[in-house]
Amino acid sequence: MTSTHRLPPSGTQCLLSARPTPTDRIPFADLAAMTREVREEVEASFAQVLDSGRFIGGEVVERFEQDWAAHCRTAHAVGVANGTDALQLALRGLGIGPGDEVVVPANTFVATAEAVVLAGATPRFADVGPDTLLLTAATLEAALTPRTRAVVVVHLYGQIADMDAIARVAAASGLAVVEDAAQAHGAVWRGRPAGSLGDVGCFSFYPGKNLGAFGDAGAVVTDDADLAHRIRCTRDHGRAQGSHHEHPFLGTNSRMDALQAAVLSAKLPRLAAWTSARQLRAEQYRTELSGGPVRLVDDASGGGHVYHLLVARVHARDRVRSALDQAGIETGLHYPRPCHLQLPYTGCADGALPVTEQAAGEILSLPMFPHLTAEQVTRVCDQLQEIVAAAVDADVA
């Protein structure tokens, strides 16, 4: 594809054609298309909830919890208010608190570390592998201290980390394993789904997720009946199940809305088809970008990657992103400032984390959603390769 959108040398004015109209632009994500698929069913479910008057918990939430547990192949699922609460409640349920350290990969959304602090513990940041940008057994081991009690393994971008190797290190060190699967709904590792590989799995159903609500929602999954019980009580002000006035646990208010559960129940049967569509477009991206100046983050999942995000590593990332925007292509950044370099977490890493720090200046999330077309992917790839090649040439000259 021939294009006039060339990136000029650094420091010169970018002379691009007029900004594309909204209908010509390729969005980073398209939630409206997913909503159109489920709107009729959601409206019917909303009417039932409105008629019932049960807006918090109740049968609608319980039905989704059962279906989500089955999807994750776990014995229990506990609906909560959001993904951050899922992590915090899981850690508290495991007995993690003041004086404890929890290893967290530095390449993650800040909520992962935030949940550790909210549970009363201290995050200890680990670097990630250079190919997948995920926590590895080696980077976990390097971050361990005598105070380490748990590890939060983040299945970032939609791909599960090497849980076999990580589990061996965790077992040898006596660590609880918490899966942050907020970006990995339906992802698989050696035939097992995200959430079923550690002691407990945590999900966010933020609207932009592969399975997203119409607001905030989350869930914790586990095979541990006692842990599930503690989390069920803790999410509801520490109430004993079946009682309204007995509070044997120190709790919080993190209950799932019935309306959000209705949305999730409408979307869940479509998740497999939406995942297949993402995987098809990811394969196209890999084919069309192969051999060019753009490197994609590796897929080491053996086919279990669900591509919540399709992440490239590019030269002159910020200039490239600006040029893509001018060409009508929306992109994202996940994440441009690592957690260990954020002000509240100063001192939570032992020095530099070089892989994470280098990647933070290169990563660029490309358009990825179930209704993305083949033509749109081709346009993104053509524009991206041309712009990156021009950036490299300009900086070499």
Whole-number Cα distances in Å, 76 to 202, 220, 224, 242, 395:
12, 8, 8, 18, 54
5 domain-assigned: no
State whether residue 31 is helix, strand or coil: helix
Tens-digit pLDDT string for the chain (397 aa) = 333 333 333 333 332 334 566 669 999 999 999 999 999 999 999 999 999 999 999 999 999 999 999 999 999 999 999 999 999 999 999 999 999 999 999 999 999 999 999 999 999 999 999 999 999 999 999 999 999 999 999 999 999 999 999 999 999 999 999 999 999 999 999 999 999 999 999 999 999 999 999 999 999 999 999 999 999 999 999 999 889 999 999 999 999 999 999 999 999 999 999 999 999 999 999 999 999 999 999 999 999 999 999 999 999 999 999 999 999 999 999 999 999 999 999 999 999 999 999 999 999 999 999 999 999 999 999 999 999 999 998 988 7
Segment holding 295, helix H or strand E: strand 295-296
- 307 and 390 housed in the same domain: yes
- 88 and 70 housed in the same domain: yes
Going by DSSP bridges, is the β-strand pair 101-105/176-180 parallel, antiparallel, or unpaired? unpaired
Last residue of a domain, one of 214, 242, 269: 269
Q: Are residues 356 and 128 in contact, defined by beta-carbon separation less than 8 angstroms? A: yes
- 49 and 137 housed in the same domain: yes
The residues, any chain, with a CB within 8 Å of residue 134's CB and separated by 6 or more, are 105, 107, 128, 154, 155, 156, 159, 161, 162
- 277 and 260 housed in the same domain: no
Range of the domain at 145: 34-269
Which amino acid type is present at position 176? A
- 56 and 68 housed in the same domain: yes
